Structure 1
Amino acid sequence: MHIAYLTNQYPHVRHTFIRREIVALENLGVQVSRFSIRDSGGDAVDPADKAEKEKTTALLAAGKGKLLTVGIKTFFKSPLRFLKALTMATKYGRRSDRGVFRHWYYLAEACLLREELQKLGCDHLHVHFATNPAVVAQLCEVLGGPKYSITVHGPEEWDRPEAISLKEKYEGAAFVVSVSDFGRCQVYRWTNLEFWPRVHVVRCGVDEAYLNEAPKPVPDTNRLVLVAGLTEQKGHLMLIQALQKVNEAGQAFEMVFVGDGHLRPILEREVQTRGLSGKITFAGWQSNSQVREHLAKSRALIMPSFAENLPVAMMEALSVGRPVLGTYIAGVPELVENGVTGWVVPAGNIDLTAAAIIKILQTPVANLSEMGKSGAEKVARMHDARVEAAKMKELFSRVLSDQK
């Protein structure tokens, strides 16, 4: 079994769950070839991601000349298939805010991908994210490439379903995987009933580095941590406002933001303006081992997202025995149980977020350790990368068996 994986950017510091899935599949005897639309490996922090860069083919790295050449070659070799793919790309482009020309570019990428997959003898193409990689995968199949499948993460895919031709991508796939029960229902919303049996839940997982180490007791510290890119939907700005209320209530705390992004200058100014300098630290992107160390040294993970599916950082925090403060959105309540593995508050409610943080800081560490232990047990049951990869292998096997 030879499976190709395609994402928009791989490896990527925020997509460790894809690497874990690929590595787990290879440990199960599946041959996996890595492809990405663009090269992002230069920003890799973790040694494992740096190693993945060497195994990954970035389609755009081939250059415009190569893409044009392979496109022309494909047209003369299979004109009918090419014209069908061109019609599809044009149709999608007219709906999209990215336009027709960009979708013709996706067609050129699909031509190159089909050629590469044929050389490697890949049996199936799997895509993470139903955005532009799914367009390339679908066009690749129309051009004569292998069947494709999609893992849907959200929430971006669900923000503009008609504009990115989500229904056509879903229903053109051999199967669609969601990483949460909530996500599966979002796929149901945009597919016909007869397609529903082809929609499955395969959760993102954590690897042996988290699963093989028993959760440690919560340290007697007032340090809290948030692991996420510095983007609007992760809720950093509202968290800073909530932390100001915590500070005004006279509750001591230390917050570490692990991650980076375009909002960093704005957030740094906000911290200074609200008199929280010295209490909130920006750590930037960290390696897997560094993230685990930040979590181990913390009292809890604070995750105030208002647009999400199910953050992998929550799984990682619970795996090391740290309770989580999350929000009542998407798949979060599937993992974070109020009063059992952590707390959940309404997204965007600054007062309730501040009150929950004060409660975390005032709860005895023995109680927090029990919550963390319950969370670690739940992650081991639901988010073992090895178990979830076995589910993916079974889905691939079914598709390949049906093709015989």
Structure 2
Amino acid sequence: MSVFVETRRQISELPVSSPTPEFTGKIAYLVNQYPFPSGTFIRREIEAMENFGVQVVRFAIRQTDVRLSEPKDLVEASRTRIVLNLGVIGLFSAAFVTALTSPGKFLKTLALTIKLGWHSDRGLFCNLIYFLESCQLTRWLIQEKVEHLHAHYGTNPAAVAMFCRSLGGPTYSFTIHGPHEFDKPHFLRLGEKVARSKFAVTISEYGRSQLYRWTEREHWGKIAVVHCGLDKNYFSRELTPPPAARRLVFIGRLDEQKGTHLLVEAAKLLHEDGVDFQLTMVGDGPMRGELETMIQSYGLDECVRLAGWQNDDEVRESLLDSRALVLSSFAEGLPVVIMESLAMGRPVISTNIAGVGELVQPGVCGWLVPAGAVRPLADKMLEAIEMPVDQLAQYGKAGARLVMAHHNAITEAEKLARLIGLTEIHS
């Protein structure tokens, strides 16, 4: 039996806490835009909830502004109600009805809006728009008899959820992903949002520590960790051996935050040292033109390729065709692509930021380097390029086990269902 078949067998036999539970209840999800290509983790969470028997209503504040091609995303888009599609007249009409039917709650929530918006980064005007949105969303939530509202991201979705609660809507919770929420915690009033919530979720222990910083100690007990998860398709595939080809892959948006310029600089160092390698950069973004110029001016045309945007199947193929995933980011939460790479038996080279070190373990399933350090990044890329295939396979095996144990969409959604307080059905 090959090491890869054996690894998959061992992963499938990892102990689980209990059989897949069944819950009853009706909840709603709120996201700024939903669905969106890089938000598959939200879709997986919703799918897991529905597999438990929970009724899930989907809301988004605005229409998704990117092209959707995945069949599941297209289905999700058809099931999602968009608040801003009502237009200005519709939102003001909802506010007028709310003011007539619940004047006390209307004025209380308007006062809260002014208080939070006066010194926020988005200003009072944007927060008043959130207030109008919450008037309509609260009506929908009550009409649908939703028991609880869960928002993804601590920005405007969490604000709208909080205003809905103040207007008489259901309890709410929200998931913080980072890094953007932690760039402006005072402006976002994260502590206020936690205090008024039923609970708040972060996707890593690092994220929880940061939310502790901006939340009063008396509310720390509300903050829990629920990881982003992968679905069973990632855990049912047989692991394949890493290629002998000296190939690495980057997957992400081409912008400053991802450190893509420094990744090309690291590739330049390897090229100057005479190292034979290939680096494929999957993704698109505002820095693509500059990166193309750098690659050409450094003479890297033969070893660095910008592959552009790829769909889910193409991304999986790019990972499987590479020895390791390499990320050079300056700011992250805990990238889902790391979980996907490890689940497929491909080690990860990453900057040691945020929650990345909770999953990428040096000498076990990958390599960590200081953010912004080019030479150490190049050195670890060289290690992955030159590592014997058998040792790479052991790294991949360890990474797959870690992801199965800590980033299974079913078990993570179960944590969330229990935090919400959904009623479990006992057979």
TM-score by length of 2: 0.91
For 2:82 and 2:304, the matched residues in 1 are separated by: 37
Residue 195 of structure 1 is aligned with which of 210, 219, 224? 219
Q: For 1:301, what is the secondary structure of its paired residue?
A: strand
Residue 352 of structure 2 is aligned with which of 324, 328, 336? 328
Q: For 1:43, what is the secondary structure of its paired residue?
A: coil
Residue 185 of structure 1 is aligned with which of 202, 209, 212? 209
Q: For 1:95, what is the secondary structure of its paired residue?
A: coil
For 2:267 and 2:137, the matched residues in 1 are separated by: 48
Residue in structure 2 matched with residue 132 of structure 1 by the alignment: 156
Instruction: In structure 2, list runs of 5 or more residues that go unmatched.
Output: 1-24
Verify: 1:307 aligned to 2:331, yes or no: yes
In structure 2, give the amino acid aligned to 1:103.
N
In structure 1, give the amino acid aligned to 2:168.
G
For 2:71 and 2:292, the matched residues in 1 are separated by: 28
Question: 1:42 Cα shift?
Answer: 5.0
For 1:156 and 1:320, the matched residues in 2 are separated by: 29
Q: For 1:162, what is the secondary structure of its paired residue?
A: helix
Question: 1:325 Cα shift?
Answer: 0.2
Residue 74 of structure 1 is aligned with which of 87, 91, 98? 98
Task: Give 1:136-285 correspondences, 5 Å limit.
Answer: 136-285=160-309
Q: For 1:163, what is the secondary structure of its paired residue?
A: helix
Which stretch of structure 1 is more off in the superposition, 274-283 or 159-168? Answer: 274-283
In structure 1, give the amino acid aligned to 2:253.
G
Residue in structure 1 matched with residue 313 of structure 2 by the alignment: 289
TM-score by length of 1: 0.96
Question: 1:255 Cα shift?
Answer: 1.7
Question: 1:82 Cα shift?
Answer: 1.1
Tell me: CA distance 1:60–1:267, structure 2 relative to 1, closer, same or farther (3 Å).
Answer: farther
Instruction: Percent identity, please.
Output: 45
Residues 330 and 353 in structure 2, CA contact (< 8 A), matched pair in contact too: yes
Residue 129 of structure 2 is aligned with which of 99, 105, 123? 105
Residues 14 and 229 in structure 1, CA contact (< 8 A), matched pair in contact too: no
For 2:375 and 2:66, the matched residues in 1 are separated by: 40
Instruction: In structure 1, list runs of 5 or more residues that go unmatched.
Output: none
- The CA deviation string for residues 364-392 of structure 1, in whole angstroms up to 9 with x for no partner, is 11111110111001101010111111111
In structure 1, give the amino acid aligned to 2:391.
N
For 2:287 and 2:136, the matched residues in 1 are separated by: 35
Residue in structure 1 matched with residue 108 of structure 2 by the alignment: 84
Question: 1:13 Cα shift?
Answer: 1.2
Verify: 1:17 aligned to 2:41, yes or no: yes
For 1:290 and 1:51, the matched residues in 2 are separated by: 21
In structure 2, give the amino acid aligned to 1:286.
Q
For 2:46 and 2:181, the matched residues in 1 are separated by: 22
Residues 45 and 285 in structure 1, CA contact (< 8 A), matched pair in contact too: no
Question: 1:191 Cα shift?
Answer: 1.3
Which stretch of structure 1 is more off in the superposition, 165-174 or 315-324? Answer: 165-174
How many pairs does the alignment contain? 400
